[in-house]
């Protein structure tokens, strides 16, 4: 090789620039997308579970309402216990809580005694009012 040719090659090599480092953020993008997908799946599961839980509460309230409507006042003592139990479970809003607080002392006189008389008309009327209000709101 002659010197002219060597100088030409050196000139060509001097024009070649070194490799540039290209910033690679694909690793962070990958884990960001994975995190977002997990968050999104968790949010969807949360709202589905919340919806199912709310439906369950409505179904339970309907069941309690049906049970309170089926109370027969033949066995006064047992009926007073059942009415108190189901009325307490249905007392979730202010109106029903207020009516329950008025109904409960009336039912107390038929509980905790060995012998009880038949339910008086005032207690029956208050109980029927409570059932009517609970029926409208459930």
Instruction: Tell me the DSSP string of 46-95.
Output: HHHHHHHHHHHHHHHHHHHHHHHHT--SSSHHHHHHHHHHHHHHH--SHH
pLDDT band at 83 (very low <50, low <70, confident <90, very high): very high
Residue 11 falls within a domain, yes or no?
no
Structural domain tally of the chain?
A: 1
Residue 29: per-residue pLDDT: 93
User: What mean pLDDT is predicted for residues 81-104?
Assistant: 92
- Average per-residue pLDDT for the chain: 87
Supply the range of the domain harboring residue 93: 55-137
Residue 63 falls within a domain, yes or no?
yes
Query: What span, in angstroms and rounded, lies between the C-alpha atoms of 138 and 133?
Result: 9
Residue 115 falls within a domain, yes or no?
yes
Residue 15: per-residue pLDDT: 65
Helix axes 94-108 and 121-137, enclosed angle (nearest 10): 150
Residue 13 falls within a domain, yes or no?
no
Residue 97's nearest CA partner among 132, 70, 130 is 130
Tens digits of per-residue pLDDT, 119-136? 889 989 999 999 998 888
Residue 122 falls within a domain, yes or no?
yes
């Amino acid at each position: 090789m002659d010197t002219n040719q060597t100088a030409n090659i050196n000139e060509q090599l001097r024009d070649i620039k070194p490799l540039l480092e290209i910033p690679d953020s694909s690793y962070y993008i990958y884990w960001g997308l994975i995190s977002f997908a997990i968050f999104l799946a968790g949010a969807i599961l949360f709202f589905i579970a919340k919806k199912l839980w709310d439906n369950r509460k409505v179904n339970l309230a309907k069941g309690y309402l049906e049970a309170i409507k089926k109370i027969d006042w033949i066995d006064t003592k047992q009926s007073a216990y059942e009415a108190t139990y189901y009325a307490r479970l249905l007392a979730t809003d202010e109106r029903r809580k207020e009516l329950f607080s008025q109904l409960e002392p009336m039912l107390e006189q038929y509980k905790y005694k060995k012998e009880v008389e038949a339910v008086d008309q005032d207690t029956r009327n208050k109980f029927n009012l409570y059932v009517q209000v609970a029926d409208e709101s459930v």
